[in-house]
């Protein structure tokens, strides 16, 4: 990838075309990863062992954090015009106002922004893992089919987050006061997570209820299929050669003309909606680090690419990390405060100016990227170590 970026640099003019090609190359790289994942390493449905999950988690974390090196070289050498005319939080020399301006960004600063964004997105994604575990338990998704649901869930997440990041970047660049709304939203979300218990019943999800209302739904699994024409649950018999249980063909006259949704599809539907809800929290959070859409996009994608493997590592131990959720609340609140400190003083006149009120422009309080990176790491470390040292008390069995 490095050689490709370097060779293309000399053949393309600087500007939007080069930036677009950088996205195309990155998306192509992601597609290669996904094709290898489903087409080679997980061609057949199987139960993901802890060893396999840990191995893949390490691989994805190494890929995600290692991409910071690519970001450093690309921005330092301005491959494909990366780092040139890049949206940044700085002072506009023409007007003297603080805001989002196009500036030149070096490799070291870009790498720090990427790592901070990657870590914020990775940490906030952990709460998503616990919700997915509840979804799989509710719909009784067999272990060997969970990877398939997560894979297609990631595909949907990539598309949704790409659109949301594009819209977010456009809003931040053209209406910088929207950062205040992002900051308030993050603070309110952190407060909600702290004081309101979430609904753990996926069956009450409005999307599931709508799907059941307007589409026929089977009450049984049909292997790894999301849709089925079977009218009765499939039967299984042991394969004499492999010793594995194999699904038997449908009996004559038991197939309907109209397909029905399976519980596996409903589980996928809830996973997609869950990611959309979490994206609404995490994407504003990363805009507190940088307004550069390329860094926002790449760090976000790498963070969720390893979500499947991380799920199989943590889902079985989610009750063990009792202090992880409080840590995530602190991180979200910190990012919200960071965004408010950055946005409110210089941009409040944009809002008050609408009603004709003039105020003296203030200077933003910009928390350095390295400090943000350190705060997120320390809070996560406290949450993990604290959970291991102070395990939750086992609930007492009711007296007979």
Name which of 136-145, 298-307, 319-328, 346-355 the model is least confident about.
Answer: 346-355
pLDDT of res. 318: 67
| Contacts of 147 by beta carbon, 8 Å cutoff, 6+ apart | 42, 45, 48, 308, 312
Reported as a pLDDT band with limits 50, 70 and 90, residue 106 is very high
Q: How would you class 49 by CB atoms within 10 Å of its CB: exposed for 0-12, middle for 13-18, buried for 19 or more?
A: exposed
Better-predicted residue by pLDDT, 130 or 338:
338
Helix (H) or strand (E) holding 236: strand 236-238
Rounded distance between C-alpha atoms, residue 287 and residue 152, angstroms: 26
Six token digits for residue 337:
């405060």
Q: How would you class 42 by CB atoms within 10 Å of its CB: exposed for 0-12, middle for 13-18, buried for 19 or more?
A: middle
Rounded distance between C-alpha atoms, residue 342 and residue 354, angstroms: 21
Identity of the highest mean pLDDT range in 64-78, 230-244, 333-347: 64-78
Q: How many domains does one find in the chain?
A: 1
Whether the CB-CB separation of 332 and 186 falls below 8 Å is answered with yes
Alpha helices in 229-306 (DSSP H): 263-286, 293-305
Rounded distance between C-alpha atoms, residue 30 and residue 37, angstroms: 10
pLDDT of res. 353: 53
Residue 167 placed within a domain: yes
Tell me: pLDDT of 91 over 80.
Answer: no
Reported as a pLDDT band with limits 50, 70 and 90, residue 104 is very high
CB half-sphere exposure, 242, CA atoms < 13 A = 6
Other Cβ atoms less than 10 A from the Cβ of 203: the count is: 12
Tell me: pLDDT of 347 over 70.
Answer: no
Six token digits for residue 159:
């598309």
Better-predicted residue by pLDDT, 173 or 256:
256
- Angle between helix axes 307-314 and 293-305 (nearest 10 degrees) is 40
Tally the residues of the chain: 400
Q: Could you read off the pLDDT of 362-390 as tens digits, one per residue?
A: 667 778 888 988 998 899 899 888 988 88
Other Cβ atoms less than 10 A from the Cβ of 30: the count is: 16
Helix (H) or strand (E) holding 246: strand 245-247
Whether the CB-CB separation of 308 and 63 falls below 8 Å is answered with no
Residue 13 placed within a domain: yes
- Determine the structural domain holding residue 6 and report its residue range: 2-197+269-389
Residue 264 placed within a domain: no
> 160-187 burial, b if ≥16 CB within 10 A, otherwise e?
bbeebbeebbebbbeebbbbbebbbbbb
pLDDT of res. 113: 95
Residue 232 placed within a domain: no
Tell me: pLDDT of 14 over 80.
Answer: no
pLDDT of res. 228: 96
Rounded distance between C-alpha atoms, residue 172 and residue 163, angstroms: 14
Q: Could you read off the pLDDT of 314-326 as tens digits, one per residue?
A: 776 666 778 888 9
Residue 155 placed within a domain: yes
Tell me: pLDDT of 147 over 90.
Answer: no
Residue 41 placed within a domain: yes
Residue 163 placed within a domain: yes
Calculate mean pLDDT across residues 18-42.
Answer: 84
Reported as a pLDDT band with limits 50, 70 and 90, residue 61 is very high
Six token digits for residue 381:
């470390």
Rounded distance between C-alpha atoms, residue 166 and residue 103, angstroms: 19
CB half-sphere exposure, 390, CA atoms < 13 A = 7
Reported as a pLDDT band with limits 50, 70 and 90, residue 63 is very high
Over the chain, what is the mean pLDDT? 83
Residue 379 placed within a domain: yes
pLDDT of res. 324: 83
Rounded distance between C-alpha atoms, residue 32 and residue 51, angstroms: 24
Tell me: pLDDT of 145 over 50.
Answer: yes
């Amino acid at each position: 990838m490095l050689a490709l970026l370097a060779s293309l640099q000399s053949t393309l003019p600087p500007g939007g075309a080069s930036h677009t090609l950088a996205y195309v190359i990155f998306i192509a790289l992601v597609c290669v990863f996904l094709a290898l994942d489903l087409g080679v390493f997980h061609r057949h449905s199987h139960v993901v062992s802890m060893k396999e999950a840990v191995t893949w988690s390490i691989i994805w974390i190494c890929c995600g954090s290692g991409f910071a090196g690519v970001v450093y070289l690309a921005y330092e050498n301005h491959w494909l015009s990366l780092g040139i005319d890049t949206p940044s939080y700085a002072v506009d020399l023409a007007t003297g106002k603080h805001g989002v301006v196009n500036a030149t960004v070096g490799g070291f600063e870009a790498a720090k922004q990427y790592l901070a964004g990657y870590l914020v997105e990775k940490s906030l994604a952990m709460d998503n893992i616990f919700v997915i575990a509840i979804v799989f338990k509710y719909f009784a998704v067999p272990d060997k089919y969970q990877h398939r649901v997560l894979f297609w869930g990631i595909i949907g997440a990539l598309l949704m987050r790409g659109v949301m990041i594009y819209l977010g970047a456009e809003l931040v660049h053209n209406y910088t006061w929207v950062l205040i709304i992002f900051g308030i939203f993050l603070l309110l979300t952190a407060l909600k997570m702290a004081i309101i218990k979430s609904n753990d019943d996926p069956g009450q999800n409005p999307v599931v209820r709508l799907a059941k209302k307007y589409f026929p739904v089977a009450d049984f699994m049909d292997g790894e299929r999301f849709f089925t024409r079977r009218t009765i649950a499939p039967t299984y018999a042991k394969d004499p050669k492999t010793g594995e249980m194999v699904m038997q063909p449908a009996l004559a006259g038991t197939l309907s003309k109209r397909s029905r949704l399976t519980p596996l599809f409903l589980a996928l539907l809830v996973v997609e909606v869950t990611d959309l809800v979490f994206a609404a929290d995490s994407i504003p959070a990363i805009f507190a680090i940088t307004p550069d859409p390329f860094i926002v996009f790449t760090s976000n994608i790498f963070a969720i690419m390893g979500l499947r493997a991380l799920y199989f590592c943590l889902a079985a131990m989610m009750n063990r990390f009792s202090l992880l959720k409080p840590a995530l609340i602190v991180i979200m609140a910190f990012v919200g405060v960071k965004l408010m400190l950055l946005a409110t003083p210089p941009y409040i006149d944009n809002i008050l100016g609408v009603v004709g009120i003039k105020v003296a422009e203030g200077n933003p309080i910009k928390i350095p990227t390295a400090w943000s990176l350190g705060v997120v790491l320390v809070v996560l470390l406290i949450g993990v170590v604290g959970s291991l040292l102070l395990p939750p008390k086992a609930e007492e069995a009711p007296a007979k």
